[in-house]
Amino acid sequence: MSDRMRIALLLAPAMTVIVVLFFGGLAVGVMRSFNWMPVIGLTEPNLDAYRAVLSDPDFLRSFGLTLYISITSTLISAVIAIAAALLLRQSFAGRGAINLLFQLNLTVPHIVGAIGVLYLFSQSGFFARMAFHIGLIARPAEFPALVFDPFAIGIILQYVWKEVPFIGVIVLAQMQALGTDYESVARSLGASRWQAFRHVLLPLILPGVLSASIIVFAFTFGAYEVPLLLGASHPQALPVLAYKTYTDVDLAARPEAMAMAVVIALLSALMIWAYLRATRARLRS
């Protein structure tokens, strides 16, 4: 057996799963999004579903909301993560314990985090109850709406809580690999602490921050469970809207649901491409 043959055989199980399940499902989804569903008599592919979806104000509002959630969550997470990494790379008493605490919620599933946000920040949650006991509010409705709210504060809170350690760990590893030599040189040549960070360290860690942020953006754009649990009834995040359309009693809505899913997939593909470019830039640096 030649080496190529052996490699092909060894890869076969994994590739079968990827090709058949992933690309198979993707292909069926794409076909249905083009209104091609012979089983219910749709045999002439067309772009009706895309036309309907892209001209639907509900879809556009959902798209805008999802974009807003992803961008805001990613930006806030990245800023806090860099700040945290700067602190954590210094040596201080109890650093090990703090480091562990910082990374602890990496293992907590998003859905658990979402329930936690609900219990803490809802109008009858932990903080609302505290506010009631110290006399700040008299009724649940007087507590600011932080979940199911139009600004998606609850959703963003959950993502920030979950993604700060993710970006932070990557950035911290990068900072530790770089060491402090470059910054020391800059400082010895008269740069302020801020200048040393802004012009020396930040450009060095930027590719890492970027690639981690792209992963976070792509994930939050396609995630379903957090906006489902913490989002308002209208507009809904794109994945929630897509699933709702998919489960509509009217089977004719299926192609539109698939068109939405394809839009989400396309955007994620774009993110993967951007991620690959960013990583290559990082390797070059």
Partner 1 sequence: MPAFGPPLASLFLSGVHDFASGEEPTHNEAQGLKSVPSLPVEYHVHRKCSNVAHVMLDICSTYRTTKTTKSGVNVMRILTVTVLLGLSTAAPSLADTADGASLVGQDWEAIVEMARGGEVNWFMWGGADNINIYVQDFVGTILMNEYGITLNQIPLADTVEAVNIVLGEKEAGNLDAGSVDMIWINGENFRTMKQGGLAWCGYTDRLPNNALVNWDNPVIANDFGVPVDSCEVPWNRAQFALAHDSATLPEPPRSIPELIEWIKANPGQFTYPAPPDFNGSVFIRHVFYYAAGGVDNLLGDFDQAKFDAAAEKTWAILNEIEPSLWREGATYPTSINQLNELFANTEVAFTFNYDPSQFGIAVDAGIYPDTVRSFGLVDGTIGNTNYTIIPFNSPNKAAALVLQNLLLSAEAQLEKARPEVWGTSPGIEMDRTDAAAQEAFAALPSHPSVISAAELGKAALPELQAGWISAIEQGWLANVGN
The binding site for partner 1 (CB under 8 A) comprises 39-41, 58, 122-124, 139-141, 145, 148-150, 228, 231-234, 244, 246-252
Smallest gap from Cβ 266 to partner 1, in A, equals 22
CB of residue 39 vs partner 1: minimum separation in angstroms?
A: 6
Cβ 47 to partner 1, closest distance in Å? 19
Q: Are 72 and 154 in contact (CB under 8 A)?
A: no
Residues 6+ apart with CB under 8 A from 168: 80, 81, 82, 84, 85, 88, 102, 103
Nearer to partner 1, 3 or 250 (CB): 250
Which residue lies nearer to partner 1 by CB, 1 or 249? 249
Which amino acid, one-letter code, is at 112? V
Reported for 42-48, long-range contacts at CB under 8 A and 24+ positions apart, including other chains, are: 42/255, 48/255
Closest CA to 170 of 279, 280, 31, 49: 279
The residue (of 160 and 240) whose beta carbon lies closer to partner 1 is 240
| Adjacent-strand bridge partners of 37 | 42
Q: How far is the CB of 228 from partner 1 (least distance, A)?
A: 7
Beta strands in the chain (DSSP E): none
Instruction: For partner 1, give the closer residue by CB, 123 or 174.
Output: 123
Count of CB atoms situated within 10 Å of the CB of 282: 17
Distance CA 208, CA 59 (A): 33
**What are the φ/ψ torsions at residue 139 (nearest 5 degrees)?**
-140, 155
User: Is the Cβ of residue 229 or residue 264 nearer to partner 1 in the bound state?
Assistant: 229
What is the closest distance, in whole angstroms, from the C-beta atom of residue 249 to partner 1 in the complex? 5
Closest approach of partner 1 to the CB of residue 236, in Å: 8
Residue closer to partner 1 by CB (options 196, 258) is 258
Q: Taking the CB of residue 13, how many other CB atoms lie within 10 A of it? A: 9
